[in-house]
């Protein structure tokens, strides 16, 4: 990933949520950079202002990443690695 051309696609509250969403994006072959608030991590705090994490992707994949995250938020990806909006297997 060229770090000169990256776009933030999500700010998460809590490291667990950030890691789950990063794994989702990477499962769809979207390399993801995860930036965390360092003081919270040093003290083991993952709530409030000390628990945020940012997800960044290559700018040319930001639209696809945003669509995947929106589909995840709507519960459309629970059946595995299907495309957003696809019908679940019968």
pLDDT at 67 over 70: yes
Q: Which residues of 7-32 are buried (b: 16+ CB within 10 A; e: fewer)?
A: eebbebeebeebeebbebbeebebeb
pLDDT at 76: 87
Helix/strand/coil for 23: helix
Q: How confident is the model at residue 36 (pLDDT cuts 50, 70, 90)?
A: confident
**In terms of pLDDT, which residue wins out, 49 or 35?**
35
Task: Please give the model's pTM, rounded to 2 decimal places.
Answer: 0.73
């Amino acid at each position: 990933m060229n770090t000169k051309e990256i776009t933030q696609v999500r700010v998460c509250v809590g490291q667990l949520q950030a890691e789950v969403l990063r794994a989702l994006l990477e499962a769809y072959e979207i390399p993801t950079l995860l930036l965390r608030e360092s003081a919270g991590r040093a003290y083991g705090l993952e709530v409030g202002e000390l628990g945020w994490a940012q997800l960044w992707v290559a700018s040319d994949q930001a639209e696809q990443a945003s669509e995947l995250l929106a589909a995840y938020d709507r519960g459309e990806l629970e059946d595995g690695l299907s495309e957003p909006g696809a019908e679940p297997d019968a």
